[in-house]
């Protein structure tokens, strides 16, 4: 299955099928057929919702959807964390509604990062049912009906016994295609390094919906902006605004803060620890290039890499393959290489990473940051988010 996923990914990010190998080209007809079926089912589903034959549910609190149009590398989970901290710091208790897909690695990471905040995390395919359970258990606060509380959101932290544990907003993780819940704000994340792949629908391409679906968005955030030339960012922005004029477009990036050792999550390791060292990047991400580029900016002597498909669970045979490559690097550079993984990879299966001993495994910690561009600053982004209570 992993080999098949690699083949599909290679095709999805190829802009010229004629340059693919014979093996890859042999899959194109089948993938084209499946993509057509997927498009038909997608169109039918949206049409049935538009006719009112499928019912959309509304929660008693504002719902912010954080979604994407393509698979992997869009910064969706970091944005969910960013919004959760934003609300928590203002005294609003957010409820994150996640599918818990792929072994729940993203949920585990959010739980670690948001520990000590008011944020609550619900996981399950039926996110309306999950939300109903949390709302019944903790209650909710309607800030839009309370002018005093709403004003406090912009100035001070609302932290009274009556409201601190009651849910004030819901964040729909990976929500763009989850149309059964009514949302008050749609944020769509775009991978600036590879925004649309080959512009085809899955599985022939990486698009989960046609580009025209961007018209449903209220805010677009182009992620990995620090790794993309300025003109490319402008071209992506202009292309988006051709679909929907005056759509607010923001830029974001991941800012590394520190490492921690896979054997000790508490002890922080400075970013300078890999400067001038031989590094092996190991990951199972949707689009690992951004991760590798981020590591390269930290000044290592040499970066080698090996990647698996998104949410892949590392197997013992994979660890053997990686150990063999690490030994080769050790002999070549006469220096023991350091393995660097993402937090998502660490949370998926931290125990198996310890099998790489005696090689040191460092976990890179980063946070999403809104990058100011023209009039679209972080403050402007926050103002648009808080309009959900208007």
- In the prediction, which pLDDT does 148 show? 44
pLDDT band for position 163 (cuts 50, 70, 90):
low
Name 319's Cβ contacts closer than 8 Å, sequence gap at least 6. 352, 355, 356
Over 80: is that where the pLDDT of 145 sits?
Answer: no
- In the prediction, which pLDDT does 160 show? 45
pTM over 0.85: yes
Tens digit of each residue's pLDDT (9 = 90 or more) over 234-263: 999 999 999 999 999 999 999 999 999 998
Q: Is there a contact between 28 and 16 (Cβ–Cβ < 8 Å)?
A: no
- In the prediction, which pLDDT does 250 show? 97
Q: Check residue 224 and give left, alpha or beta (phi > 0: left; psi -120 to 50: alpha).
A: left
Over 50: is that where the pLDDT of 329 sits?
Answer: yes
CA nearest to 329, candidates 297, 360, 304? 304
C-alpha 222 chain-centroid distance: 12
Q: Is there a contact between 189 and 76 (Cβ–Cβ < 8 Å)?
A: yes
- What CATH number labels 255-368? 3.40.50
Q: Residue 204: helix, strand or coil by DSSP?
A: coil
Q: Which residue has the tokens 């679909």?
A: 243
- In the prediction, which pLDDT does 16 show? 83
* Fold type of domain 63-253+370-389: Rossmann fold (3.40.50)
d(CA 126, CA 132): 10
d(CA 71, CA 69): 7
Over 60: is that where the pLDDT of 156 sits?
Answer: no
DSSP symbol at 57: B
Tens digit of each residue's pLDDT (9 = 90 or more) over 57-108: 999 999 999 999 998 789 999 999 999 999 999 889 999 999 876 557 889 8
CA nearest to 387, candidates 89, 118, 169, 179? 169
Q: Residue 255: helix, strand or coil by DSSP?
A: strand
d(CA 85, CA 93): 10
User: What residues does 93 pair with on adjacent strands?
Assistant: 167
Over 90: is that where the pLDDT of 381 sits?
Answer: yes
Q: Is there a contact between 35 and 203 (Cβ–Cβ < 8 Å)?
A: yes
- In the prediction, which pLDDT does 5 show? 81
The mean pLDDT of 15-29, rounded to a whole number, is 87
The mean pLDDT of 8-21, rounded to a whole number, is 85
Question: What's the chain's average pLDDT?
Answer: 90
Tens digit of each residue's pLDDT (9 = 90 or more) over 181-228: 999 999 999 999 999 989 999 999 999 999 999 999 999 999 999 999
Question: Which ranges of the chain would DSSP assign to H, the alpha helix?
Answer: 2-12, 22-25, 28-50, 76-89, 105-113, 127-138, 147-152, 230-243, 289-296, 316-333, 343-348, 350-353, 378-386
pLDDT band for position 6 (cuts 50, 70, 90):
confident
DSSP symbol at 200: -
Over 60: is that where the pLDDT of 151 sits?
Answer: no
Per domain, the residue ranges of the chain are 2-50, 63-253+370-389, 255-368
d(CA 9, CA 20): 12
pLDDT band for position 367 (cuts 50, 70, 90):
very high
pLDDT band for position 265 (cuts 50, 70, 90):
confident
105-113 vs 76-89: helix crossing angle, rounded to 10: 30
Q: 63-253+370-389 with 255-368: one CATH topology?
A: yes
d(CA 90, CA 97): 20
The mean pLDDT of 326-332, rounded to a whole number, is 97
Q: Which residue has the tokens 């007809």?
A: 29
């Amino acid at each position: 299955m992993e080999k098949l996923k690699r083949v599909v990914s290679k095709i999805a990010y190829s802009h010229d099928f004629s340059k693919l190998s014979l093996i890859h080209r042999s899959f194109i007809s089948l993938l084209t057929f499946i993509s057509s079926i997927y498009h038909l089912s997608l169109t039918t589903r949206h049409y049935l919702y538009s006719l009112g034959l499928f019912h959309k549910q509304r929660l008693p609190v504002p719902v912010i959807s954080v979604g994407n149009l393509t698979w992997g590398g869009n910064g969706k989970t970091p944005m969910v964390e960013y919004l959760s901290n934003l609300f928590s710091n203002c005294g609003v208790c957010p409820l994150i509604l996640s599918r818990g897909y792929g072994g729940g690695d993203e949920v585990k990471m959010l739980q670690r990062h948001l520990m000590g905040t008011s944020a609550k995390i619900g996981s399950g395919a039926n996110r309306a049912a999950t939300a109903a359970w949390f709302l019944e258990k903790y209650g909710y606060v309607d800030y839009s009906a309370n002018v005093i509380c709403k004003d406090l959101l912009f100035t001070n932290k609302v932290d009274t016994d009556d409201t601190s544990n009651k849910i004030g907003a819901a964040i729909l993780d990976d929500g763009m295609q989850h149309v059964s819940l009514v949302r008050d704000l749609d944020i769509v994340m775009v991978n600036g390094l590879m925004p649309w792949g080959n512009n085809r629908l899955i599985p022939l391409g990486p698009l989960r919906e046609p580009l025209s679906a961007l018209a449903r968005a209220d805010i677009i955030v182009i992620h990995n902006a620090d790794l993309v030339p300025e003109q490319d960012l402008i071209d992506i922005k202009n292309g988006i605004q051709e679909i929907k004029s005056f759509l607010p477009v923001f830029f974001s990036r991941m800012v590394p803060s520190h490492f921690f050792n896979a054997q000790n999550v508490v002890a922080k390791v400075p970013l300078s620890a890999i400067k001038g060292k031989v590094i092996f990047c190991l990951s199972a991400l949707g689009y690992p290039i951004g991760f590798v580029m981020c590591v390269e900016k930290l000044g290592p002597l040499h970066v080698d890499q090996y990647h698996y498909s998104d949410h892949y669970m590392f197997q013992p045979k994979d660890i053997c393959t990686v150990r063999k490559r690490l030994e080769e690097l050790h002999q070549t550079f006469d220096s023991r290489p350091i393995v660097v993984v993402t937090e998502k990879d660490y949370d998926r299966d931290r125990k198996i990473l310890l099998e790489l001993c005696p090689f040191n495994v460092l976990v890179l910690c980063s946070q999403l940051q809104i990058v100011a561009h023209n009039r679209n600053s972080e403050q402007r982004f926050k103002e648009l988010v808080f309009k959900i209570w208007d």
